[in-house]
Each structure stands twice: as structure tokens, then as C-alpha cells.
Amino acid sequence: MNEQRKDILDMLAEGKITAEEAEQLIAALERDQPPAASSLDARPKGKAKYLRVVVDALEDGEPARVNVRVPLQLLRAGVRLAALIPPQALGKANAELNKSGVPFDLSQLKPEQLEALVDHLDEMTVEVDQSDAKVRIFCE
Amino acid sequence: MPQLLTVRVKRPGGRPIRIWVPVLPIVLVFAPVVVLAVLVAAVACLVYRVSVVRALGTGWRFVSALPGTRFDVEQGHTAVLVTIR
């Protein structure tokens, strides 16, 4: 019960207002409540199972839509698969990244860190809104 | 493990094509090729000093996690949908 509703009920209990007035006040309070959260925020909370990527765009004047659903379990398996990449291949990838101006050492990326990242994906929502495209990445 | 792969293709002015691929029978039919692929993967693991058991286990885990995957691409009157169940 929120504070304002409690105040109204207290006033009713103390006899400062009548039951009708209390009812009107509560009704007014409910009208003033902020609108319900958007459908994205209102999705059921719980352990997320899927990563969703939804893209709505206009391509050559035609509406285009990409809707991808990937099980988070698949991401976890992919992370484990990535951990099997031999060090030679990582070295080559690092060199190419450096050449492209991305000084990133892939060998520093541990599978445990990636798994922790996947575990916390369900709290992540990315929304990109542009005039001709809308991208949403979220977990459900 | 995936049981069914569904592919649906919709083209402008044409009838939509739907293909259902039962994974297990296909894997059984192509069993010799699958065994060969596993052997090649095992050899590659040995060459690159990666644990064969770990690699095969991870590969199996990856395949087992595929059900539930869905790709849906639409543009105008053209659409492609791939689902794995």
C-alpha cells in the first residue's frame, strides 16, 4: 500500500473524512498513477531463456523486419566452443585486430568472464531508434 | 537435440514454400558422413592440441542447445523463416 492511500485511510479512521470522500480521493489517486510500463518493461520477470534481436527498418521504401531468437543456452555453448580456439588462431586474430586499429587481446578474455556476461544478459535491453530503423535487443 | 527444422520461404506472387526436415532420420541417413566429420574434427583437435573429449562434448552441447532458435527475415513481400525445434 502506498503512502498517500494509507494517509486517506488514516483520515477515514480518524473521522476527518467520510467514506464517500475517501472513495473519491482513492479514485483520484488511481487516476493520477503513472501510465503502465511499456510492454518491454512489463514482460514477466524470471530467468530469461532467449536473446531476441528485432529490427524494423525501411529498405528501398519497403518495410523490412528481422526477428531472431537465440536460446541463451546456445550462447553459453558458443562461449565454451570459443574457449577451444587454439592459441595460434588467437594470436593471428589479435594481429588482425591490431592491424584494423582495435588493440584488443582476445587471449585475455576468459570463458568464465564470458559466461558471467551471458548470465547477466537478461538484465540488458538495447534500443536504437532512428527515423528509418528501430533495433531492439533484449532477453525474454 | 534438435528434432525438426522448419524452413518457410515466401516470394512475391508465388506460393509460400514450407519444408519440414526431421533431423534424426537425416542424421541417420548421413551417418557415414557424420562419423567421417567427427573423425576429421578429432584429428584437427589432436593437431592443434585441443582435448578431443572436451571439444566433442562442447560440440554436442552446442547442438543440444539449438532447439528454440528462430530466424525470421521479411522484406516487402519476401520472407524467410527458419525454426529449429
CA nearest B52 in A: which residue? A84
Q: Are A20 and A61 found together in one domain?
A: no
CA distance B45 to chain A (A): 9
Tell me the chain B residues in contact with residue A71 when contact means C-beta distances shorter than 8 Å.
65-69
Q: Are A125 and A71 found together in one domain?
A: yes
Residue A42 within any structural domain of the chain: no
Q: Which domain holds residue A102?
A: 50-139
Specify the range with the lowest mean pLDDT, choosing from A41-50, A70-79, B25-34, B51-60. A41-50
Vertex B71 angle, CA A110 and B54, to 5° = 35
Residue A8, judged by CB atoms within 10 A of its CB (0-12, 13-18, 19+), counts as: buried
Residue A92 within any structural domain of the chain: yes
Q: Are A7 and A65 found together in one domain?
A: no
Q: Who among B55, B68, B71 is closest to A71 (CB)?
A: B68
Q: Are A61 and A26 found together in one domain?
A: no
N-terminal to C-terminal alpha carbon distance within chain A: 29
Residue A134 within any structural domain of the chain: yes
pLDDT confidence band for B36 (50 / 70 / 90)? very high
- The verdict on A78 touching B (C-beta cutoff 8 Å) is yes
State whether A71 and B69 contact (CB < 8 Å). yes
Nearest to A135 by CA among A59, A55, A69: A55
One digit per residue, pLDDT tens: chain A, 140 residues? Answer: 566 777 778 777 777 777 777 787 877 777 666 544 444 444 555 678 899 999 998 887 788 899 999 998 888 888 888 778 888 888 888 899 899 888 888 878 777 787 788 878 877 888 998 888 899 999 88
CA nearest A74 in B: which residue? B65
State whether B50 and A86 contact (CB < 8 Å). yes
Q: Which domain holds residue B73?
A: 4-84
Tell me the chain B residues in contact with residue A81 when contact means C-beta distances shorter than 8 Å.
58-59, 62
| Phi then psi dihedrals of residue A65, to 5 deg | -140, 130
Nearest to A74 by CA among B72, B59, B66, B85: B66
Give the global pTM: 0.66
Alpha helices, DSSP H only, in chain A?
3-14, 19-31, 72-82, 87-99, 111-119
Cβ pairs A/B, distance under 8 A: 65
Residue A74, judged by CB atoms within 10 A of its CB (0-12, 13-18, 19+), counts as: buried
- Please tell me the total count of domains within chain A: 2
Q: Which pLDDT does position A33 carry in this prediction?
A: 60
Q: Are A24 and A55 found together in one domain?
A: no
Residue A38 within any structural domain of the chain: no
Residue A105 within any structural domain of the chain: yes
- Please tell me the total count of domains within chain B: 1
Residue A115 within any structural domain of the chain: yes
Residue A8 within any structural domain of the chain: yes
Examine the pLDDT at B22 and tell me if it is beyond 90: yes
Report the alpha-carbon distance of residue A69 to residue A50 in Å, rounded: 6
- The verdict on B71 touching A (C-beta cutoff 8 Å) is yes
